[in-house]
Amino acid sequence: MPELIYYCGTMDAGKSTLALQTAHNHESRGRVGVLFTLHDRAGSGVLSSRLGLQKPAVEVKDDLNLHDFIREQISTGNKITFVICDEAQFYTPNQIEQLALIVDGLGIDVYAFGLLSDFRTKLFPGSQRLIELADRVEPLQVKALCWCGEEATHNARVVNGEMVTEGEQVVVGDTVTSGQRKHEVTYEVLCRRHHMRKINARASQATHQSTPTLPFQEPER
């Protein structure tokens, strides 16, 4: 039976790579699919991985009805047999429900890939709805690593080198202008211990470098 499967993990866990591999495996057997994505690092209308692989994809806007899109593709003679949804955490809850309709109403397998939680450790609305509706939720087996070497379980937002826990939920990593200042926004994966302590890689180096030396006195001569 067709299924809605959600593959989830932190950043650097290989979600987009697995999405591309899944599409390749199906296409190599003559199956025809549709690839959706949103806020990809390579730009609009592209599904890319950190390994340099990429494929054209449909950019998901808030007003795009995914079920209607697939149904229209089928009505024009395209035989769609699978759907890939990358960055699914950014989809609206309604769009996640539309994915379930694609499975149940059109009999098509849907494979979704995304993050579970944001930089504040809160579930994305899209991820929450996927957990509620998916036939299966599959954590990715590839483990991302914190700077300390432990398994990374949380995503951290870093602004101008410092970890932050407040702000808009969705900010694509880039330079963001606030007033007359430009802020460099990047993301980093951390273990729970260092995420809760707000110690990212840069802060850990600063901590090591700023360790005070023990007081001592010069010997008398």
Active-site residue, 184 included: no
Give the integer Cα–Cα distance in Å for 65 and 94.
Answer: 9
- Residue pair 83/34 in contact (Cβ under 8 Å)? The answer is yes
Give the H/E segment covering residue 21. Answer: helix 15-27
Give the integer Cα–Cα distance in Å for 155 and 157.
Answer: 7
Look up tokens 């499975």; give the residue: 103
Of 87, 97, 138, 220, the catalytic one is 87
Query: How far is residue 64 CA from its own chain's centroid?
Result: 20
Tell which residue, 195, 188, 141, has the closest CA to residue 161: 188
Catalytic residues: 87
